[in-house]
Structure 1
Amino acid sequence: MSCRVCMGNWLLSWNPENAPWKPPRIGTSCRNGLSRIYGSGYGAAFGKLLQPQALQLEIREDAPGTSYGIRTAPIPGPRLAETGRFILAAKADMAPERLAMELPEKIKVGSSANITDLVRRNLRGIPVIPARTHPEEIPYHAGFTYFGLDPNHEFWRQIQETSALAFHISGDLPGLELEMWVINHEKD
């Protein structure tokens, strides 16, 4: 069997919509008719492979002295807030294990509309849960620790309405770097 046929079989079997698909029997004289045999399956499968599974959100730091260290991350579109899995990646000048323990205690996450109220009233906000492993959908960066945001929390609806996350970190985490990612789980 030629390499193209093997690749075609793999791509079509990988696509969940074609799971029960069985490869056709091909004779050696059929090398030029692969597109006829596989149809548009190649394009659909390659489209799935090339479609980004995760999107990095821009974290904006407010102007010094204006919002008391609040950072925001706009979400491009309300559907993403409903269907996406949100991952916070953090790195600081400390052991990753220590960061995994300290950051969830020092960070408050909410919508851009309610973050100042969370800080003022000393409410916890949306839980930030340390991830056991690096999420495979996002690029690996050495030294980063990964956290998931709980979409079942009561404040999540406000994030869906405002299409923006907001963060406030109390205390000092030296050399802190943050990245916000959303993994798109929406079906086409």
Structure 2
Amino acid sequence: MSAMNKVIWSEGMFLRPQHFQQQDRYWERFIEGRLASFTEHSWGIHSLSIDAEPLTLGKLSLTEIKAVFPDGTPYLAPDIEMPPPILEIPDNTQDLTIFLCVPLKRPGSQDSIRSEEDLPQARYQTYNYDIRNSTSQSSEPARIQIGKLRVCLKTGNDDLSGYASIPVARVIERMPDKPVKLDRDFIPPVVRCSASLNLNSYLQEVAGLLKQRGDALGNRLADSGRAGSAEIADYMLLQVINRFEPQIRQFIDEDHLHPYNLYTSLIQLAGELATFTASEKRAPQLSPYRHDDLRSTYGDLFGALRQSLSTVLEQTATPLALVERKYGIHVAPITDPSMMVSSSFVLAVKADVQTELLRSRFPTQAKIAPVETIRELITTQMPGVKIRALPVAPRQIPYHAGFIYFELEKSGAVWQSFQRSGGFAVHLGANFPGLAMELWAIRN
């Protein structure tokens, strides 16, 4: 037998208060059990307002609160229930969590009291209430007794074993004759993300980082029009960002987003970003979701997202634009002198001649040297930087049908002079009809 079983009503039965009390307990248990099947984390703060003035006097006061306790008890103050009594924070308090508490239901125990001294663990305080009959035009109200939840504030140092409790604040310190200093980074258990300023701030930051990284990648790819393997990685990263950015923007506008639903989406984002930004290319080991400790839950997660979205992704291959000048000389400026040490260089060539002929003749007819000395080498018929044909296009740069790829050999006196040069110069000693050339710097 249970104090939660259904009452069996029958004709002619003698009604007692216990019948209605049992019926109330049955329906409360029925509703709680039915709702619990929809979500595991259905308790927490819906909205909360802390009065700032009592903090200067060493006290904590909640002026407005809407919440659901872990035992399923809804609480709305001051609209329906009484706000909890103001809590005095002792002097020299440090690192103390404050809980909103309601006495637990105890089968066989008295639920309501008339005065505080009668039974401290009773759930309800009895009040007289005059109410009219809602189905009659009679103007005479009738007095009934109603019960308001006996909610209170307690600290983590108190015995909470007889209460359903929700952590609502964390005191960093309260020194004598000083105001209470609350932890602004504390995140209480909430049933909607919009109830926490910290979660909203984190979400806005992630949305901003996604937009910034997406814009940078989009501009880079739209500018280049390339399709090498490095650019494919950029496209894939942009695809991840374009998939999650609209979802995050929707989350920001959504008033009833549960923190668990947000967590499941963001850990997917963190895992996908790790493919591109983590050195081991694996998803980070993040804290599991803990509804009663959202600060730890989201602290690690947002740290991982912030790191991934702030990582500078360097281009592995940079095109150096070759511009044709007089006398068949093509020049490309060196914008970053460090690339001469940290990069290898590939010249992609295409012409309206047979592929094998281009592969064999081009190295003998091309003279590559610094722009400052190219004319001298042409006049004296001295060789420039040696080039050798590659069997395939390097994976970092795009492959185009009909192009032959030549790597510049970083050796010899001519190459050493590039350390002080302002650019590359390419001169051809023969005519190649339909000639097209691309010069690439590939970071090692």
User: TM-score, normalization: structure 1?
Assistant: 0.78
> Aligned to 1:165, which of 421, 424, 437?
424
Judge conservation of contact 1:128–1:148 (CA < 8 Å) in 2.
yes
> Aligned to 2:315, which of 52, 59, 71?
52
Letter in 2 for 1:87: V
| Aligned residue in 1 for 2:387 | 128
Question: Following TM superposition, by how much is the alpha carbon of 1:112 offset from its aligned partner in structure 2, in angstroms?
Answer: 1.0
Letter in 2 for 1:36: F
Residue 110, structure 1, aligned to residue 369, structure 2 = yes
Distance (whole Å) between structure 1 residues aligned to residue 366 and residue 339 of structure 2: 23
Residue 143, structure 1, aligned to residue 143, structure 2 = no
Letter in 1 for 2:317: A
Gapped regions of structure 1 (runs ≥ 5): none
Letter in 2 for 1:135: P
Judge conservation of contact 1:58–1:180 (CA < 8 Å) in 2.
yes
| Aligned residue in 2 for 1:23 | 284
Distance (whole Å) between structure 2 residues aligned to residue 176 and residue 126 of structure 1: 20
Per-residue CA distance 1:116-147 (angstroms, 9 max, x = gap): 22222222210111112112222222221111
| Aligned residue in 1 for 2:301 | 35
Equivalences, count:
177
Judge conservation of contact 1:12–1:41 (CA < 8 Å) in 2.
no
Question: Following TM superposition, by how much is the alpha carbon of 1:170 offset from its aligned partner in structure 2, in angstroms?
Answer: 0.8
Distance (whole Å) between structure 2 residues aligned to residue 133 and residue 93 of structure 1: 19
Structure of greater relative contact order (alpha carbons < 8 Å, 6+ residues apart): 1
How well do the aligned residues superpose, as a CA RMSD in angstroms?
A: 3.0
Judge conservation of contact 2:274–2:281 (CA < 8 Å) in 1.
no
**Rg larger for:** 2
Judge conservation of contact 2:319–2:440 (CA < 8 Å) in 1.
yes
> Aligned to 1:155, which of 395, 414, 417?
414
Letter in 2 for 1:12: A
Distance (whole Å) between structure 1 residues aligned to residue 401 and residue 372 of structure 2: 33
Per-residue CA distance 1:60-113 (angstroms, 9 max, x = gap): 2123xxxx3222111112112222211111100123232111111110111112
Per-residue CA distance 1:26-62 (angstroms, 9 max, x = gap): 53568983733625332145x42xx422222121212
Judge conservation of contact 1:81–1:163 (CA < 8 Å) in 2.
no
Question: Following TM superposition, by how much is the alpha carbon of 1:149 offset from its aligned partner in structure 2, in angstroms?
Answer: 0.7
Letter in 2 for 1:8: A
Gapped regions of structure 2 (runs ≥ 5): 1-263
| Aligned residue in 1 for 2:270 | 8
In structure 2, relative to structure 1, the CA distance for the partners of 1:23 and 1:106 (3 Å cut) is same
